[in-house]
Structures are given as structure tokens and as C-alpha cells.
Structure 1
Amino acid sequence: MSEAPTARASASAIELPLADPLVAPVSAPPRAALPSNAALTRDFMELSFALESGRPLPRFTRFEGPITVSLTGKVHPVAPRELDRLVARLRHEANIPISVGASATDHINVEFLPKSEMKRQVPNAACFVVPGVSNWQDYLANRRTARTDWTQLARRERMTVFVPSDSTPQEVRDCLHEEVSQALGPVNDLYRLPDTVWNDDNFHTTLTRYDMTILRAYYAPQIWSGMSQPEVLAAMPRVLAQVNPAGGPVKALHENPTPAAYVRAINRALGGVSSLGARKAAAREAIAISASQGWTDTRAAFGWFVLGRLELPTSPAAATNAFINAGTIYRRIPGAGIQAAHVDMQLAAYALSSGRAQDAIQLVNRSLSAALNGENAALMATLYMIRAEAYDQLGNIAQARQARLDMAQWARYGFGSDAAVRRRASEVAALADAGARTN
């Protein structure tokens, strides 16, 4: 969605009483099938022994013993509840001995500070985790030193997660899930993984069953801080026999690395510095690399998705073709339902703007379950807004109102304020206006 809002916005979408922004409807985490233990071993080793930059890590590290995590700074109102939920899941699903503490001296400190301050120092990070420091000033004094270098760690003793205090509730929750999990476990992201927060495509925003399985393996008694890569690899059959007994034996690992050229192409396509034409060319380069590698996983789809987003402002037909290609691949991949839902949202928005209200409704209906399972409030609210406008186009006022009632459960948690909800409602209304003019 990229169309500018018009003066008309659905009044009923704006005037409905919106749900408390501190409380989002919650669904049980989906029980997606896990990969084989051979695949889990390959993933575990790649996630654990390299940084996102590609730098290798010389040893395995984790916290040893009970862990406490605290909130400091200008704590967002939603954070205590979301941290409690996260800690409960980590204890139950990953068997990690973690609890909520009360001060910055805890093992993991989550510090909230203004987004503007964070952007001045780290422009490209929405939120991030740093080893070896206890607060923001400590980080500024020791950044780019051995103390904050992941490769120098012997074991994890103190981590600080930095989160913007002026984020939406959903953004706060998402930062807690990704950054606290990386403080505890993997610090690498892999573009090829479909069902995880540890993927730079940023589709999954809450920890999945796959993530909890990796974290459970991280804290298995058969491995510990200081072990080398061969030592951890040798222990993985015993670890995964305990953690995932249905996963079968750990046989020969099939390597499937992502070439640096693909990562560079995706980064250029996503970056805002180059011209739009250069960014489109970079997305096409990523697509070509995927084809040359014979990939059928999320890497093959993501290039198409990025290209679709880039084509939207100037070539809706090309964007639609790119989204269709992305969605076709995503729907074949177990665990990629949330990715396919994002694609369907884009296609539904285009259908609405083209006057194809029934197509828009069908696309929304197909994507709602995955968006719900992913607890993605912003996506849920947007889908319901599209559904409401589509039913308006069809003259079905009762269904349109019900869609807006459904939207109201999610909107403020996802977008953060009434004003932000109105802006998104106006954007969707603009699509509906364009669609009405085509009929």
C-alpha cells in the first residue's frame, strides 16, 4: 500500500471505540511442524557461530545459571505485560531459567530511550542488543571496543537491549521478542529460514515454535559456554534427541549458504539512499541470484516481494506480478504463512483500488488466520479495513460494520494512537475511492 490518503476517510472506521492499546487479542502460538534434526543442526550451527555481518564466532556462548531481565528508562506502558508474557513462554517452551528482575544490574537490561536519540547513534536499527554493557551511557563509552565485541565473549554475563520509548505497543513487543531472544541465544539472522524471528525479512515478529526449539537446545545440559564449533556439532545428536525426539537422527548436513552477493543486493534494494531505479535493479539482481542457485525457499520469494513494494508507486501491474510470484513461492513453504499473508494484503489493496471488491475480500479471508497466529495487530487491522471498504463497495453495510468492529480490536495496539489509525484508515479509503471511480 502506497497511495496517498484522500480527504475522505470512512467515518465509521474512525469513530468506533478502539480497544485499549495496552491489550491485544492473543492467540496460541501455532504448532507448525519442525524440520528434521539434521536440518535443525545445520540451522543451529549457522545461527550460533556467525554474526549477521558474516564474522565467525570462535566459541559458543550463553548465560550459565539462572537469568534475570529488567526494564529501565522511560518504560513503555505495554512493556511490563509483554515481558511477563515473554518470560513465561521462555520458561515453559524453551526451559530457560529466566525471571523478571528489578534493576539495571540484572543479566539482561531492557532500556527504553527516545527513538531520536537512538537514531543519532545507530541510524539503521529499530532496536538492538549489546553485550558487556549495563546502560546507554555505558554503551556509548565502550562501543567499538573489545568489551562490546561478540567475538571476544567467553560467556554471557550482561546484555542490554535498547528499545525506543516512543514505539507502538506492537513494536515494543516485537523488539522484546527478537532482542531478548538474541541476548539469550542466536545472534545471526538467516534469510533462508521461514518460521523464525531470526530472519532479516522481519515477517515473523513473535517467537515461533521453531525459535523456542532452538533456544531449548541452546540451554541443554550437553553444551555450555566456551565449546568450539566441532565440540558443539558433536553434541547436537544428543541435544536434539532430547529436545526434538521426533526429528530423527542427525545425518550428513546439507549446506545451503546464502552468498554475500544476495545479501548485498537485498540491502541495496531495501536501503533508502539509492534511486528507485537502482533499488529495483538490486531487487532484480537478488531474484536472478535466487534463480541461479535453484532456490525454492524464502530467499526466492523475498526478492519478488521487495520488487513488488518498489514497483507499487509507478507500476501497479508490475507490482502485482511480483507479488503473485512471491505469494506462489511462500504458500509452498511450511511455516511461511505470515509471509503469504503480507503478500495477500498487498494484492487485496490493489484489488480494492481496481474496483474488484469481491477479490479483495477473498484475499483478506485467505490471510486472516496466518496474521492472527502471528499476533500481527497492524496487519490484522489493515486487513479488516480493506474488508470493510470492500463490503461498502458491494453495498453490504452490515458486513462492513462488522469488519470495522473486528478492526477496532487490533488497531491501536498495532498503530499506537488514534491519529495513526485514522491515517491508515484514510489510506485504505483512498484505495476504495480509486476503485469506485473504475466502476
Structure 2
Amino acid sequence: MVRVRSTFLAGLGFIALGLAACTDVQQPILPMTKPVARPDIPAAPQKPAQVARPTSEASAALRSYLNQVQSAQLSQGLLRRDGGGEDTPFTDAMLARNFEKIAFYNEYDSDFSGRGGASPLRRWTAPIRMEVIFGDGVPPSQRKSDSETISAYAARLGRATGHPVSMGGTPNFIVIVAGEDDRRDTLAAAIARMPSISQSSIAPLINLPKDTYCVVAAYSGGSGANTYTAALAVIRAENPSLLRLSCIHEELAQGMGLANDSPHARPSIFNDDDEFALLTRQDELMLKMLYDPRLSPGMHAEEARPTVQRIARELTSAGPV
């Protein structure tokens, strides 16, 4: 088992944006039927094919380490992809309890220095526009597969929450897939796309501990201290395929507002035991609860508890799920 798979940061601010527990994002060519020869006009130079930059020894060593982590977890029956089953039933009371612990608490404080504490409910009110930015060292084949995965998963998050989530437009949630050698430069490119995020606020995302596979930071601004306006998710490109997919599932879902983990949440990706790699049925219900109009940003756990319990009963009305 590893100590950390992913991390969610929390905080406030718009000018000097503080980190918050959980980040955003985004052409056809018509062929000519016959080329026309124009020998007097030099041919336009062809754009060179995109080639991944060679990786350093540090990046190669990290890739080897993460492959060993994935192999060890799979050998222990972890990183399940079934979403939960007959061995992981949960009731309305369990759903309500898990939602409260995950939605009303922070996993970490803003600089990884300690565990986060109780927090009001946080979520987005504006439509989420995601974009993916890759580090120079990420090969074209991985870029293609990761882009397709993130796009499909963004649509799934939109369906689960009922909140608009799309790829395209001016981004407010950027997903970075980068390695040790290019994470700093890729983060610089990301905040250039979202100027409301300050350079100083991304420091915890640059120097990641070895056992942090991915991280997400959500930012709030203006008078809406509990309303997210921007987010950045950072996923190590060195992660092998399943760990990388697991990071995509957890970080983007946490970036919606489910900021904490709980050892009691099962089946769930919001649990540091790494039993589940991919979003589960209970996780989808918690996302649905998070964006239920009967709850609103800024509500505290005690105030929201009766409503949370009512929604959980409605979602599990047929009995244990």
C-alpha cells in the first residue's frame, strides 16, 4: 500500500487565489480533390510531427516505481473497476454519513502541512469548461487516449451531477498530464490560460512528494467564498495506465466539490485504501447529492444534515444499493 494516491487542496481568494480541496477545460480539414502545381511558389514547410521529449533519469525512476506500485496493488485485489457489487452494499444512512464526511471536510490544508478540517459545502455554479494540457514528454499515443478518456469522463460527471460540464471554450478547469521534467512549464502554460490563478498559489502543485500520484486544487473568488470559479488537476504522466485512469476519476470528481476521503466510504474512490480505482455507484450518488438544488454552497454539515438524509433516502428508496 502507498501512503497517498491523490490529494485535494482547499482555500480561498481570487486576486491571490488560495488552494481549495479539489481544477478545468478544451478543428476539420477538407481535402482538395487534386493538387495544383505552382513551381514558382515555394511549398509551405510541413509542421514537424510531434515527438515526445526524452525523459530524465528521475522521471524514468519514478515511472518504474509507479509501475511497481500498480502491480503490487493489483496483486492484493485493489484498484477494482467494477463500481461495487453484492459484496459492497450500502444503505441510505451509510450514504448520508459518507456524503457528509466527504463533502463537508477538507482532505488537506492549502500547503499539505496538515489535515484539513470541517468546511462548508463547496461546488460550482457556473458551467465547467475543461481543457487538457500535456507536458512535452507525453507521447502522442498517450495524449490521444488520455484526451478521449477525460472527454468521456467529463460528460459522465455532467450526467451524474446535472451540472454543465464540457470540453471547449475558455477553460476554467484545466487537467494537466505531465511528468517530472515538464510539470513546472506545463503549469505555467495552464495559468496563462486562466489568469485569475496566481503563480504563487500553484507552488504546492510543482514539487509533489514521490507518493502523490496526482493532485487537484480548486479556487474560489469574489464574494462567493464557497463557489468554485477555477480548478487545476495535475496527473503524473509517469503513472501506468490504470493508476493514471484512477487519478483522472478521483481528481476530476474531487474538483466538482467532493473534497475529502473517508475510511468508511465503500464502495468509493474517496477512500485511501485504494480498493476501487474508478468511480463507483455510491460516488455517482454523492455527486448527484452535491448538486441537488436543496443544498447550496456555504451550508454547514449540521444545517444540511436533515436534507442530506432525506435525499439519501430518496436515492436508495428501493433498499440497500
**Do these two structures clear the TM 0.5 threshold for a shared fold by scoring above it?**
yes
CA shift digits 1:175-210 (9 cap, x unpaired)? 110100110132111123331111112221110111
Q: Which has the higher strand share?
A: 2
Q: Distance in 2 between matches of 1:28 and 1:60?
A: 29
Structure 1 contact 108–159 (Cα < 8 Å) conserved: yes
Which residue, out of 173, 177, 190, partners 1:108?
Answer: 173
Structure 1 contact 191–201 (Cα < 8 Å) conserved: yes
Runs (4 or more) in structure 1 with deviation over 4 Å come to 27-34, 116-120
Amino acid at match of 2:237: S
Residue 317 of structure 2 corresponds to 245
Q: Indicate whether 1:132 and 2:199 are aligned.
A: no
CA shift, 1:66, in A, is 2.5
For residues 24-63 of structure 1, the aligned pairs below 5 Å read 29=83, 34-53=89-108, 54-63=115-124
CA shift, 1:112, in A, is 2.1
Identity %: 22
CA shift, 1:130, in A, is 1.1
CA shift digits 1:318-374 (9 cap, x unpaired)? xxxxxxxxxxxxxxxx9xxxxxxxxxxxxxxxxxxxxxxxxxxxxxxxxxxxxxxxx
CA shift digits 1:86-105 (9 cap, x unpaired)? 12322334434322225xx5
- TM, length-normalised to structure 2: 0.56
CA shift digits 1:201-226 (9 cap, x unpaired)? 22211101111011111111110111
Structure 2 contact 217–232 (Cα < 8 Å) conserved: yes
For residues 129-208 of structure 1, the aligned pairs below 5 Å read 129-132=216-219, 153-208=225-280
Which residue, out of 291, 295, 312, partners 1:223?
Answer: 295
Structure 1 contact 222–238 (Cα < 8 Å) conserved: no
Structure 1 contact 78–172 (Cα < 8 Å) conserved: no
Residue 68 of structure 2 corresponds to none
Which residue, out of 134, 159, 164, partners 1:73?
Answer: 134
Unaligned ranges ≥5, structure 1:
1-26, 134-146, 249-333, 335-439
Q: Distance in 2 between matches of 1:179 and 1:215?
A: 13
Unaligned ranges ≥5, structure 2:
1-80, 109-114, 184-204
CA shift, 1:78, in A, is 1.7
Question: Greater CA radius of gyration, 1 or 2?
Answer: 1
Structure 1 contact 195–210 (Cα < 8 Å) conserved: yes
Amino acid at match of 1:38: A
Q: Distance in 2 between matches of 1:225 and 1:52?
A: 18
CA shift, 1:161, in A, is 0.0
Q: Distance in 2 between matches of 1:100 and 1:239?
A: 30
CA shift, 1:69, in A, is 1.6
Total equivalences in the alignment: 205
Q: Distance in 2 between matches of 1:34 and 1:92?
A: 23
Flag the 1:68–1:247 CA change in 2: closer, same or farther, 3 A: farther
Structure 1 contact 83–176 (Cα < 8 Å) conserved: yes
Q: Indicate whether 1:82 and 2:161 are aligned.
A: no
Structure 2 contact 213–239 (Cα < 8 Å) conserved: no
Structure 1 contact 110–160 (Cα < 8 Å) conserved: yes
Which residue, out of 194, 200, 208, partners 1:122?
Answer: 208
1:158 is paired with a residue of what secondary structure?
A: strand
Structure 1 contact 78–169 (Cα < 8 Å) conserved: no
Flag the 1:180–1:49 CA change in 2: closer, same or farther, 3 A: same
Structure 1 contact 61–155 (Cα < 8 Å) conserved: yes
Q: Distance in 2 between matches of 1:202 and 1:230?
A: 29
Amino acid at match of 2:125: E
For residues 236-385 of structure 1, the aligned pairs below 5 Å read 236-247=308-319
Flag the 1:174–1:120 CA change in 2: closer, same or farther, 3 A: same
CA shift, 1:44, in A, is 1.0
Amino acid at match of 1:99: S
Which residue, out of 158, 173, 182, partners 1:91?
Answer: 158
Q: Which has the higher helix share?
A: 1
Structure 2 contact 154–166 (Cα < 8 Å) conserved: yes
